[in-house]
Amino acid sequence: MKGKKPYVVVFVIQTIYAAMFLLSKAAFDHGMNNFIFVFYRQALATIFLIPFAFIFEWKIAPPLSFRTFCKIFFLSLFGVLGGFLLVVGLYSVLWGKNREQTPKVLQDLEQPSV
């Protein structure tokens, strides 16, 4: 079994990726918002990983000082806000402004003919 362990791990990871792809495809086909899907995915991953963190890291984790906690908190907060602002900014630049600047001919082509 020792020589087959890497293959088993690769198989499990690929199975998880396939399940995640199928789940996201089904969710998006039924009209789920991208932001809501990302929130649910992150929340489920957190709930799934917390027991493993407590079981495997409980005795070997160094104590967490208040200063270190504040650093982690603010770095996480700025990382999430920065990513959110980046996505919203790209969305507004790529899709928001282009709708206003699209020539009339192209807008007529996008309208369905009745």
- 24-47 pLDDT, tens digit each: 999 999 998 888 888 998 999 999
Q: What average pLDDT score do residues 101-107 get?
A: 56
pLDDT score for 96:
67
Whether the predicted pLDDT of 100 surpasses 60: no
State how far the Cα of 92 lies from the Cα of 99, in Å rounded to an integer: 10
Distances (CA, A) of 108 to 93, 98, 102, 103: 22, 15, 10, 9
Q: At 51, give phi and psi (nearest 5°).
A: -60, -40
Q: How confident is the model at residue 48 (pLDDT cuts 50, 70, 90)?
A: very high
State how far the Cα of 45 lies from the Cα of 31, in Å rounded to an integer: 22
Whether the predicted pLDDT of 76 surpasses 80: yes
Q: How confident is the model at residue 88 (pLDDT cuts 50, 70, 90)?
A: confident
Nearest to 27 by CA among 43, 35, 1: 35
pLDDT score for 54:
86
State how far the Cα of 49 lies from the Cα of 83, in Å rounded to an integer: 22
**Residue type for position 46:** T
